[in-house]
Amino acid sequence: MLMKRYLLVVILLVVNSVGGLAQAYKMHTVFIFSFTRYIQWPDNYNGGDFEILVLGDSPIVDELKSMAQVKKVGDRNIKVTRINAPSEIRKCNILYIPASKSAEIADVLGKVMAQSILVVTEEPGLGAKGSNVNFITKDGKLAFELNQSAALKQGLKISNELSRLAILI
């Protein structure tokens, strides 16, 4: 009987943590969609679908795909694609690197270097290493760091409104 209760508690904790994780990624998705309104890409990145690539497995893929079914960036459809390796990075608007792929940041930035791709990460310290936007938790709430110099080098124009909301690095 005690073992069954213990097992039930463990299952509930796992379900709650997965639910919490999914909820966190819903917030990431809301932020990412909001970024599209406050960042200007060069003209040659404004045709066709608005593309978001996600490196590796992450719960954010499903959240982004759900968002893409009901939202547009201007008049552009949103296309979300999961890729397995930095070598698969191609022209897109946003590249999301989950914490599980943070060790590959140098390869990613080397591949993205001269392209106008907004690189979004979720691991403390990656904003300072060159990602454009890095999600962090501050005072128990989701926040984001903004590396404006990296974004400018990539030809991305960040609005003052977004800069004011960010933790600047």
pLDDT band (50, 70, 90) for residue 122: very high
Encode pLDDT of 37-91 as tens digits: 999 999 999 999 999 999 999 999 999 999 999 999 999 999 999 999 999 999 9
Confidence (pLDDT) at 114: 84
Q: Please tell me the distance from the alpha carbon of residue 102 to that of residue 135, in angstroms, as a whole number.
A: 12
Q: Total structural domains in the chain?
A: 1
**100-114 pLDDT tens trace:** 999 999 999 999 988
pLDDT over 90 (residue 14): no
> How much is the mean pLDDT over the chain?
88
Under DSSP, the state recorded for 111 is H
Asked whether the predicted pLDDT for residue 19 surpasses 70, the reply is no
Distance, CA of 112 to CA of 141 (rounded, Å) = 29
Does the pLDDT of residue 5 top 90, yes or no? Answer: no
Residue 112 CB partners (closer than 8 Å, separation 6+)? 89, 95, 119, 154
Where in the sequence is the domain holding 157, given as residue range(s)? 2-168
Supply the pLDDT for residue 4: 37
Beta bridge partners of 133: 120, 146
Please give the Cα distance from 49 to 65 (Å, whole number).
13
Cα 110 from chain centroid (whole Å): 18
Instruction: Write the burial class of residue 40 (CB in 10 Å: 0-12 exposed, 13-18 middle, 19+ buried).
Output: middle
- DSSP class of residue 6 equals H
DSSP 8-state class, residue 114? T
Name the pLDDT band for 16 (thresholds 50, 70, 90). Answer: very low
pLDDT at 24: 73
**Residue 10 above 70 pLDDT?**
no
Rounded to 10 degrees, what is the CA torsion of 20, 21, 26, 28? Answer: 130
The closest alpha carbon to 119, from 83, 142, 150, belongs to 150
pLDDT band at 23 (very low <50, low <70, confident <90, very high): low
Check if the beta carbon of residue 62 is closer than 8 Å to that of residue 23. no
pTM, two decimals, is 0.86
The CATH number of residue 12's host domain is: 3.40.50.2300
Structure confidence at residue 143 (pLDDT) = 93
